[in-house]
Structure 1
Amino acid sequence: MTTAVSDSPVVTRAAELTDWIAAGCKPKSAWRIGTEHEKFVFCRNSLKPLPYEGTKSIRGLLETLIPQGWTPVMEGGNPIALTHASGAAITLEPGGQLELSGAPLETIHDTCVETSVHLNLMKSIFEPLGIGMIGLGFHPKWKREDFPWMPKGRYAIMRRYMPTRGSLGLDMMVRTCTVQVNLDFSSEADMVKKFRASLALQPIATALFANSPFTEGKPNGFKSYRAQIWTDTDPDRTGTPEFVFGSGMGFERWVDYLLDVPMYFVHRGDRYIDASGQSFRDFMAGRLAALPGERATLTDWEDHVTTAFPEVRLKRYLEMRGADGGRWCHLCALPALWVGLLYDDAALGAAADLVRGWTAEDRAGLAAVARRDGLSGGFKGRPVRNLAAEVLAIADEGLKRRACLNDDGEDERRFLGVLHHAVDTGKTPADELLDLYHGEWNGSVDPVFEAYAY
């Protein structure tokens, strides 16, 4: 949660914003793992998304959790998120998707326990009510207009603004789900090295976790349609920021990028003030048209940082954003992949060597192949499947060297098993879904809501 604006210092210089990001640097002993995962919530009888209000509703689910140790975050008299003493939060996405924003934890064993506790708790509440939840990258059945909109002020502003910047932004808001992991860095140089390696390899995660081959009940021609959605959402704030690979990359250069991202809103009390398309630089100077004479605070900056959506996002940590939502086992596999690659020095060096020499055209080409073909595509004269195998081998070694053991003496490599299976078979989750659709499901996506529900 951000600090109250009244308690937050006014910022007038970009250097203060750079210092805010740089304050995220931590010694390796303090590095943590934060996993976030979204899921679609639906009525088991109708398969339709849950509305915010009603007998079977998102509001009712949130209110049921409050007596179990969760504190509501209110907006306009409505609970729109929950926080927990552990540091975790349950947040509400625009179309009623529920997200667990996990606490910062030391090992992937810990984050997988957190995921299991969360999903089991939700199931215990949902099942008696005839409610289900499922993790997919893009909703396989319903049209955009079939989704309810949640009562959050920032979403109303984004809903108006998105269609001015791309044709698929509203689909991104209500019909997609993702899983991501948030990781730390020790210094500016460490951040840059991790940012470059993870940004170049983000399409490999997209391919391995590809899980959105259907739109409105039919195959859509992509293994990850969620990834395709981002290509026509808003060019000002999405995609692969190529300057990250340039010689001037650092905290200051990232702040310059964010200052060039148009604003969405300003949050004051219980209100979201529409500042869409306006400049944070003007806000710092007291020239924001939406709030003339008022100057930005660090809390306003924290809000603004969340409105940029590149494939890897820098806050006071790095967010890996390239994967589709998936089944239970995939929620633990994503942090395992990136921790193995980025939290071990030798693995990070090997990952950096692997992508060294790739051009902007190479990176764009790999991303296009990954979202369309998953592991079955080709890149620079070799199968993407083989490249993914090489990336997994690096992550395996990184996790082996970390040597973080559970009570049974197993290290974190156990969570990569589902990804090794994908590489060994050449089948992503999307391929498995398509096989079922063309086979025993007889051209229907409806069985996915039973077979793949949590």
Structure 2
Amino acid sequence: MSDATSGCTESRRAVTEAEIEALVHGICFKTGPPRTLGVEVEWLVHAPHTPHLPVSFERLEAAYAALRGVPLRSALTVEPGGQLELSSPPAGSLTECVGTVSADLDAVRAVLAEDGLRLVGLGHDPRHPPRRFLRERRYEAMERCLDRTGPAGRHMMCASASVQVSLDAGHEEPGPLGYGRRWWLAHQLGPVLVAAFANSPLAGGRPTGWLSTRQLRWAQIGPARAGAPPLDGDPRAAWTRHVLDAPVMCVRDDEGPWQVPERLTFREWVRSRKPRPPTRDDLAYHLTTLFPPVRPRGHLELRMIDAQPGDDGWIVPLAVTAALFDDPGAAETAYRAVKPLAERARPYPAPHNALWREAARSGLADPELRDAAVACFTTALEALPRLGATPEVTAAVAAFRDRYVLRGRCPADDLLDSLRGTGLPGAGCHPAGPGPAAHRRKDIGT
């Protein structure tokens, strides 16, 4: 029997709870010196000359067919609502990561421009209701499952976009770069990143009362699927329990529609072995149906950042996050900056506690979140030259800090200022200047 055949057979063999624990430990937390970096950038696709109209599926399909022939180093995928995602290969440095993705985005934009389309950096579609573009059985099952908790799932699938930063899990040993500290820091820094980069205050052409409507929708899916495990124990053990006790989204079948069981956890599936015994393939698939703010995938995937305005806005959250995790001095400063926020993150896990909700609702108008963000951006700016960042990247981070963080603002505030002054701006359009920090909440509801 060949190695390939043996591996296929093994992946389809029924698994036990003990095997699952060992697999999750090995698959999700691979430790070693932090050396690689990655980013996934998601984009809405709009027609700037007719922003009030959604792009037809036929037009999207034609544009995406043209993109399939473009040579890229990043992986190009289409999200359920027709959003585009570029996933970088693992990079040995921030400069390498930025260079690769920037070149690939230039190529993608050139193809889309031929059909009058553009990539738009917003965390949530400001005008159009969610529409599902992809018809695969995976998304049919996902939609049926998420519909049970309300409309938020469809918004998450089809109307949202983000910047997801991927970092090595860290050292096995404790310390600023140890995996336990990095796991804790990722969750405690999460609300600061939500607040600083909030960029989705609109839905249906109107303010929602939240600066990150995208983060609100993810939280509304519920803690079983979109929540984090408790942070008061070993990360590997906590994540393994979370995986086993999370509900199964679907039971796949080679033929016919997939089953969507109700209230069946993966642990219960393993024990009951019904409707069929789960396999290693099923476990691997189950891991992809959990949407916590920090997902361990052999590395740490930070999933809480809204898509950013402008062609290069995604570089700032990538650079700031990389600096705060991979420079030991910046990591220690960030740890001290967010530690006072930890009490507000109890008793519920992220993102379903008061701190995360306030970050999504009010952004850096919250004084404690603003103070933490100022400290984190300042130490990141000091660390970036040590990580070999280019002057252009460092300047972009400094400009963002000055325009938003020091003033207690975020990109969502520009959209709201523009809405109050001139009506809903064109898709993806942010005003050139930051504008006054006028008290934004008084006229947009709560």
TM-score w.r.t. length of structure 2: 0.83
What's the CA shift string for 1:320-355, capped at 9, x where partnerless?
111111123321111211111111223222322333
Structure 2 unaligned segments of length 5 or more: list them: 347-352, 432-446
Q: In structure 1, what is the equivalent of residue 97 of structure 2?
A: 111
Distance in structure 1 (CA, Å) of the matches to 2:372 and 2:389: 28
CA distance in 2, matches of 1:26, 1:148: 38
Residue-by-residue CA offset, 1:388-423 (whole Å, 9 max, x unaligned):
101112323333433x255xxx48634423431211
The answer to whether the aligner puts 1:207 opposite 2:187 as a matched pair is: no
Query: How far does the alpha carbon of each residue in 1:37-72 deviate from its partner, in whole angstroms, 9 at most, with x for none?
Result: 1111123443333344x2x12x32232123333xxx
Aligned twin of 2:364: 375
Matches within 5 A, 1:333-372: 333-356=316-339, 358-362=341-345, 364-372=353-361
SS in 2 for 1:310: coil
C-alpha contact (below 8 Å) 1:180/1:323 kept by paired residues: yes
Q: How many Å separate the matches in 2 of 1:322 and 1:370? A: 11
CA distance 1:286–1:341, shift in 2 (3 Å): same
| Partner of residue 166, structure 2 | 182
Paired with 2:18 and 2:313, the residues of 1 have a C-alpha distance of 39
Cα 1:359–1:185 change in 2 (3 A) is closer
Which residue matches 2:400?
A: 419
Of 5, 10, 22, the match for 2:26: 22
Please, which of 127, 151, 154 is the counterpart of residue 135 of structure 2? 151
Q: Quick one: structure 1 residues 411 and 344, their matched pair in 2 at CA, closer, same or farther if it must change by over 3 Å?
A: farther
User: 2:86, 2:256 → 1: CA distance?
Assistant: 24
Instruction: Write out aligned runs for 1:224-263 (5 A).
Output: 224-241=212-229, 243-244=230-231, 246=232, 248-263=233-248
In the alignment of these two chains, the number of paired residues is: 410
How far apart are the structure 2 equivalents of 1:369 and 1:134? 26
> How far is 1:181 from its partner?
0.4
Identity among equivalent pairs (%): 27
Corresponding residue for residue 46 of structure 2 = 42
Give the Å deviation of 1:234: 2.4
Q: For 2:156 and 2:162, how far apart are their aligned partners in 1?
A: 10
1:39 is paired with a residue whose SS is strand
Q: Relative to structure 2, which stretch is displaced further, 303-312 or 278-287?
A: 278-287
Going from structure 1 to structure 2, the CA distance change for 1:272 and 1:413 (only over 3 Å counts) comes to farther
Q: Deviations over 1:339-380 (max 9, x none)?
A: 11111223222322333354453463332221111111233x
TM-superposed CA distance for 1:287, in Å, is 0.8
Name the counterpart of 1:429: 411
The answer (yes or no) to whether the contact 1:21–1:315 under 8 Å persists in 2 is: no
Give the distance between the partners of 1:250 and 1:238, measured in 2 at CA: 17
The one-letter code of the counterpart of 2:423 is: G
- Which segment drifts farther, 264-273 or 200-209? 264-273
Cα 1:43–1:89 change in 2 (3 A) is same
Whether the 8 Å CA contact 2:415–2:430 is kept in 1: the answer is no
Does structure 2 retain, via aligned residues, the 8 Å contact 1:330–1:418?
no
Tell me the equivalent position of 1:67. 69
Shift in alpha-carbon separation, 1:263–1:170, aligned structure 2, 3 A: same
Q: Check conservation: 1:180, 1:320, Cα contact below 8 A.
A: yes
Q: Is the 8 A contact 1:369 1:378 kept in 2?
A: no
CA drift of 1:315 comes to 1.8
- Partner secondary structure for residue 67 of structure 1: coil
Structure 1 position 295, deviation (Å) = 3.4
Residues 12, 284 of structure 1: 8 Å contact kept: yes
Give SS of 1:385's match: helix
In the alignment, the residues of structure 1 paired with residue 389 and residue 305 of structure 2 have an alpha-carbon distance, to the nearest angstrom, of: 26
Letter in 1 for 2:199: N
Superposed displacement of residue 451, structure 1: 5.9
Could you tell me how far 1:220 is from its partner in structure 2?
Answer: 1.7
Deviations 1:120-147 (A, max 9, x none): 1122111121222201011111123xx2
Query: Do structure 1's residue 386 and structure 2's residue 367 form an aligned pair?
Result: no
1:13 aligns with 2:17: yes
Per-residue deviation, residues 160-209 of structure 1 (Å, max 9, x unmatched): 11121244222121111111101102345522211111201111111111
- Please report how far the alpha carbon of residue 156 of structure 1 lies from its aligned counterpart in structure 2 after TM superposition: 0.8
Question: Judging changes above 3 Å, is the alpha-carbon distance between structure 1 residues 450 and 271 closer, same or farther for their aligned structure 2 residues?
Answer: farther
Which structure carries more strand by proportion? Answer: 1
Question: Which whole-Å CA distance do the structure 2 matches of 1:282 and 1:322 have between them?
Answer: 30
Q: Tell me the residue number matched to 1:72.
A: none
Q: 1:286–1:296: 8 Å Cα contact kept in structure 2?
A: no
CA contact (8 A) 2:316 2:393 kept: no
Query: Is 2:120 the counterpart of 1:134?
Result: yes
CA distance in 1, matches of 2:392, 2:22: 37
| Superposed displacement of residue 12, structure 1 | 2.0
CA distance in 2, matches of 1:266, 1:51: 32
Q: Pick from 326, 329, 335 the counterpart of residue 312 of structure 2.
A: 329
Tell me how far apart the structure 2 counterparts of residues 202 and 160 of structure 1 sit (CA, whole Å).
Answer: 29
Aligned mates of 1:330, 1:45 — CA distance in 2: 22
Runs of at least 5 residues in structure 1 that lack an aligned partner in the other structure: 70-83
1:112–1:432 distance in 2 versus 1, CA, 3 Å: same
> Structure 1: how far apart are the matches of 2:206 and 2:367?
25
Change (3 A) 1:415 1:286: farther
